[in-house]
Amino acid sequence: MAWFKRSNSSITPSASKREVPDGSWVKCESCGEMMHLKQLQAACYTCIHCDASFRINSREYFSFLLDQGSFSEHDRKMRSTDPLKFTDTKRYADRIKATIDKTEMYDAVRTGMGKIDGRQVSVAMMDFGFIGGSMGSVVGEKISRAIDRAIKNRCALIIISMSGGARMMEGAFSLMQMAKTSARLSQLHAAGLPYISLMLDPTTGGVTASFAMLGDFNIAEPKALIGFAGPRVIKQTIGRDLPEGFQRAEFLLEKGFLDLIVPRKEMHKTISKILRMLDE
């Protein structure tokens, strides 16, 4: 399922379902214009009228980032065991099952090996559609294994983040995934291998405060919301409205936490160039 990013929202970007009236025509909710699905795909899932980036899943992202047919998925069926037997208004076990049925994903990240202009990469991308792209034991373990595969194959690691943060329903286990993934990244660093962290809208909480901020290259898409605390919490804390553009990619670049802001249509080219330059 594809998700659309409301680019004109000032504080909380809320995803709304893309309208597909007859299956092949899509409406951009940013400018209201229609386009054919093929046109949208050809534009890397950005609006052909206003350039707004649609919120897309890992399959869609890999379709323009990786060489065609190069992706081989690992650990696809790894799933949560509900280690705390967690229940809020719903049982976590039921929530997982319903989400698996809906998304055809087993948890919130897809990992594997792929190629970018012939260069091998270990890649991971979070899926916001799976419980807000939240990180529990499965996300932590799959990311850790993706790091290990980069070390084993002596290739670059690319992690594409899109997440509300650590998953509450796995309590302290989720918190520890921050330490686990960061510790494994320190091993990748020691091995002298590159790590490109790509942050999409939104990347917040424990994901930002662990692997997402640790890239050798921190890259974001334009206007992506990136932060530690969510805008609502900050607003509550300080008791006033947040300035325009706060926690957006452009703001983070200005404050020194991003290397590059790259429009989606340029992403493949930019990452390919970085990998090539590190190789030559």
Partner 1 sequence: MAKTVLDFERPIVELEKKIDEMKTVMQDLEISDEIDALEAKIEELRRSVYSNLTRWQKVQLARHPDRPYTLDYLGKVFTDFTELHGDRHFGDDKAIVGGFAQLEGRTVMVIGHQKGRDTKSNLYRNFGMANPEGYRKALRMMKLAAKFGKPVITLIDTPGAYPGLEAEERGQAEAIARNLFEMAQLPVPIVVVIIGEGASGGALGIGVGDRILMLENTWYSVIAPESCSSILWRSWEFKEQAAEALRLTAPDLLEQGIIDRIVPEPMGGAHRNPSEAAMLLKTVLVEEITQLSKMKPEPLVKQRIRKFSAMGKVSE
Q: How far is the CB of 277 from partner 1 (least distance, A)?
A: 24
Q: What's the Rg (C-alpha) of the chain?
A: 18
Partner whose binding site includes residue 196, from Zn ion, partner 1, none (CB under 5 to 8 Å by kind): none
State the binding string over 214-253 for partner 1 (x if CB under 8 A, else -): x-----------xxxx---xx--xx---x---xx------
Q: Judged by CB, which is closer to partner 1: 79, or 265?
A: 79
Strands 16-17 and 3-4: antiparallel
Which residue among 19, 50, 81, 273 contacts partner 1 (CB under 8 A)?
Answer: 81
144 near partner 1, judged by CB under 8 A: yes
CB of 49 to Zn ion, least distance (A): 4
The one-letter amino acid at 69:
G
CB-based burial of residue 122 (10 Å sphere; 0-12 exposed, 13-18 middle, 19+ buried)? buried
Task: Give, rounded to a whole angstrom, the gap between the first and last alpha carbons of the chain.
Answer: 39
- Segment (H or E) for 4: strand 3-4
* Burial of 89 from C-beta contacts in 10 A (0-12 / 13-18 / 19+): exposed
β-partners of residue 166 are 135
Q: Give the nearer residue to Zn ion in terms of CB position, either 48 or 84.
A: 48
Shortest distance in whole angstroms from residue 8 CB to Zn ion: 10
Name which position in 5, 110, 149, 167 contacts partner 1 (CB under 8 A).
167
3-state DSSP assignment of residue 70: coil
Instruction: Give which of Zn ion, partner 1, none residue 183 binds (C-beta under 5 to 8 Å, depending on kind).
Output: partner 1
Minimum gap (Å) between residue 27 Cβ and Zn ion: 9
Closest CB to partner 1 among residues 9, 81: 81
- Using the contact rule CB under 5 A, the part of the chain among 21-29, 107-115, 124-132, 153-161 near Zn ion is 21-29
**Strands laid side by side in the 119-126 sheet:** 72-74, 109-116, 119-126, 156-163, 195-203, 217-220, 260-261
220 contact, one of partner 1, Zn ion, none, CB 5-8 Å limit per kind? none
Identify whether the C-beta of residue 181 lies closer than 8 Å to the C-beta of residue 210. Answer: yes
CB closer to partner 1, 58 vs 208: 208
The residues that touch Zn ion, with contacts defined as CB under 5 A, are: 28, 30-31, 47, 49-50, 52
